[in-house]
Structure 1
Amino acid sequence: MTVTILLIDDNAVQAATRQAILRRAGYFAIAALNPKQVLEQFQGTGFAGTIDLVITDHIMPGMNGSEFVRQLRRTHPTLPVMVISGLEDAEAEYEGLDVQFRLKPLAPDHLLASVARLLPAA
């Protein structure tokens, strides 16, 4: 069974880097740059397959990570979510949203370990 991870980061280089790390580890990783478009896709036609995990940045133009997660939780209350931010103080914004919060920079082995903890045991 292929695990599908959706990455949301307005920084295309960071998104592509994380996508490459995840793909090398055997995950199917989809990168997206715009959280509003991702929400529209979740609420509309959806994705081609099931999304098993969402990894989002905190600071993005138009909608920050906590706003994105709040809206996502309305339709996907149990979907595993990891938030990656350079701002330690941002963690408080995710109180009660059931996310795993990680600080940047996040080394590849820490990223993969966090992903493994969030995914249900196969």
Structure 2
Amino acid sequence: MSQHPRLTNRRFDRIVFNFPHAGFILMEHNKIQIKLHQDLVKGYFTSAREMLTESGEVHVTHKTNHPFSKWNIVKLAEEVGLFLVEEAQFTRGDYPGYINKKGSGRKCNRTFRVGQCSTYKFAKLPLQLYFPS
């Protein structure tokens, strides 16, 4: 993402990825499948961090029930130098015009049930540096 010719040297206040998914190779609970998802998300965090303004945020909306909780979203962000600012309940109304869609396969134009999920908001600096006491 940060290497795309149209995005090189651009900085953003918010970069959002709702419901990242690496595709279906194995069952969702399979360790190899979870690793594929983690690699995708960690790559997103790494690239997005480079593209943030100093006070910008990286958002990712993700299912929080099992097996999706095994992705360890917060840990992946921390590994690339991002700090959790907030975990908020996902509200579709916060994204006018947004419709979640499956990413591949013959049913790719269909929505999917989001179920229990949160929007995780990360920044380059720890929260206490935003709001010093």
TM-score of the superposition, structure 1-length normalised?
0.38
The structure with higher relative contact order (CA 8 Å, sep 6+) is 2
Query: Larger Rg: 1 or 2?
Result: 2
